[in-house]
A and B are shown apart, each in its own frame.
Chain A
Amino acid sequence: MGAMRIDARQSPAGTVLTVDAPRIDAAAAVAFKDAFRACVAGGDGPVILDLGRVEFVDSSGLGAVVSAMKMLAPRRRLDLAALHPAVDRVFRLTRMDSVFAIHDRAPADG
């Protein structure tokens, strides 16, 4: 199982992490958590997870995003951005859309 690439940049709204993979699924959940942990280590302030390139999330991927949020809590917030319709459905069905602030698109650079 390969590593997952997550691109990081700073915006006025916080650190924007863009997942550079089409899927966060059972085969990728561990790689996502490892990459996320490495990206947020030692940082501060809110994190916005840009899922604009992610077309599919299953229950393992959803669990990995919840784990990512718990890595940051309680000091730092995790928001989500740019959910594809199939990804949005998973968050709505499980009512996780009430846990995360979900933005239509990732914030622009400052």
Chain B
Amino acid sequence: MAEDPPFTLRLVLRATSEEVRSALGAVTRSLARPPEELQRLELALAEAMNNVVKHAYDARGGCIELAVTSLPDGTLCEVRDSGAAMPGGAPPEGSPPTVDGDPETLPDGGFGWFLIRSLSRDLLYERWAEPPPGQNVLRFRIAPAEGIACRRRQER
């Protein structure tokens, strides 16, 4: 099978959880990637964009610009918004959730950045001053699933 040429899907959406859902549908329908990779891509993008809805815009609304590029070594994602900068100028560490002990004390939130960091590679966050009021630019890559292992299996 020949390698697919690079393909970029660009979307501009209103920052609402409903539009995030529609955008994810467009991404998963448009990209010719293995299902397992698309699942990781969809989850990482859901977390990144819903963070923008909830935190950068604090439910005030705004726009999200999404660019997803399909490449031989995975899928490059870029999420831009004009909301508030990340506190401290960097994305949260996303420490793993504490799940032992009493069900009463189990966390029912705060998994978003842990998931983004677990699912992605080459994560980069930048805050741009231009154009006003400034932009958040988040980039990461979703690696292909066991690419080498798959190829070896086919060669046998």
Contacts and interface: CB of A to CB of B under 8 A. Distances in A.
B47 A99 contact: no
Contacts of A56: 42-43, 46
A26 B20 contact: yes
Contacts of A94: 96-97, 99, 111, 114-115
Interface in B38-90: 39-40, 42-43, 46-47, 50, 53-54
A1 B46 contact: no
A89 B100 CA distance: 19
A90 interface: yes
Interface residues of B, number: 32
Given A27-B17, A85-B36, A96-B99, A66 B43 contact: no
Contacts, number: 86
Interface of B: 16-18, 20-21, 36, 39-40, 42-43, 46-47, 50, 53-54, 96-97, 99-100, 103-104, 106-112, 114-115, 118-119
30 contacts: A25-B50, A26-B20, A26-B21, A27-B17, A27-B18, A27-B20, A56-B42, A56-B46, A58-B43, A58-B115, A59-B109, A59-B111, A60-B50, A63-B107, A66-B106, A70-B103, A70-B104, A70-B108, A85-B36, A89-B39, A89-B43, A90-B43, A93-B115, A93-B118, A94-B96, A94-B99, A95-B99, A96-B97, A99-B103, A99-B106
